[in-house]
Structure 1
Amino acid sequence: MARFDPFQEMDRLSQALFGSRQGPRMMPMDLYREGDHYVLNADLPGIDPNSVDVDVDGQLLSIRAQRTLKDNGETQWLLKERQGGSFLRQLTLGQDIDVDGIAAHYDNGVLSVTIPVSEMTKRRKIEIAAGGRQEALEEPAKQDKSET
């Protein structure tokens, strides 16, 4: 069931009435954890891979992309639902991220970013010592045979 968002509906209506929106557009994405890394998938259909930029500044991950619609000046649009322009998404990363290990891959209109968890914060098994008394084993004192 789709949720009604009055702000999104107003934005869509103003887009239809007044033309293109100003400013960067959003890109739909999924983010999930799988084992010891996070996976971010962002939909960027029709985007030239050379226009996609992923960078990390401190704890801020930024994804930028540019879609250029073909229009030679003689184009008469009958339907124009796909937006051109710049796309931007920014995420604040937690302290538990290995920012040097972040990798990105673009395939079939989907940008996949793998974000590893740092070694220090990975889940690890803690060994539990068995309870009870520990006894020290001592050798019996050796008698000096020269005393007899």
Structure 2
Amino acid sequence: MLPRSATVRDLNQLTARVFDSTGNGARLDAYRIDETFHIDIDLPGVDPAGIDITVDRKILTVRAERKQLEGDDVHWDVAERPTGPASRQVFLSDTLDTDRLDARYENGVLTLSIPVKPKAEPRVEVSAGTAAN
């Protein structure tokens, strides 16, 4: 388990390095509960099957597209809601176990849950020998 001071520092570093790669990024929240780091990304109106999530060299990338209704019989009077592709990238800490990332989409929010790796305890080998006189 990481010390609480490291937890706050790690979270601050992670959220400070979040950036929007396309200018049409989805808004997100990042937070930690116990030993799991969570990222909530707003993706209203997106088909969950069309959400693409990748992790490459500790860079998490989420891509999705919200499509506008089309057809010969559709005549728009007002179209204020954003459509088209959206993406976000987040630099992840080495302390996160991205192999166990879990993704859930509910009510227009994509929630990613990433467990924190257990902190390695240093091991000291004790060898048996004769006592020096």
Length-normalised TM-score, structure 2: 0.69
Question: What residue ranges of structure 1 are gaps of 5+ in the alignment?
Answer: 1-22, 125-148
Distance 1:41 1:86 in 2: 18
- Dislocated runs of 4+, deviation >6 Å: none
- Which position in structure 2 is the counterpart of 1:96? 95
Deviation at 1:91, TM superposition (A): 0.4
What letter matches 1:76 in structure 2? H
Deviation at 1:120, TM superposition (A): 2.1
Q: Which has the higher contact order (CA 8 A, sep 6+)?
A: 2
The answer as to whether partners of 1:96 and 1:118 remain within 8 angstroms in 2 is yes
Structure 2 matches for 1:47-62, cutoff 5 A?
A: 47-62=46-61
1:84-136 superposed Cα distances (whole Å, 9 cap, x missing partner): 11110000101111111111011111100001111126xx9xxxxxxxxxxxx
Over 3 Å counting, the alpha-carbon distance change for 1:53 and 1:24 in structure 2 is farther
Question: What residue ranges of structure 2 are gaps of 5+ in the alignment?
Answer: 1-21, 122-133
Q: SS of 2:32's equivalent?
A: strand
The answer as to whether partners of 1:47 and 1:109 remain within 8 angstroms in 2 is yes
Deviation at 1:74, TM superposition (A): 4.2
Question: Aligned Cα RMSD in Å?
Answer: 1.7
What letter matches 2:106 in structure 1? D
1:32-75 superposed Cα distances (whole Å, 9 cap, x missing partner): 11100111111111100111011111110000101111121443
Greater Rg over alpha carbons, structure? 1
Distance 1:25 1:99 in 2: 25
Distance 2:84 2:23 in 1: 7
Q: SS of 2:119's equivalent?
A: helix
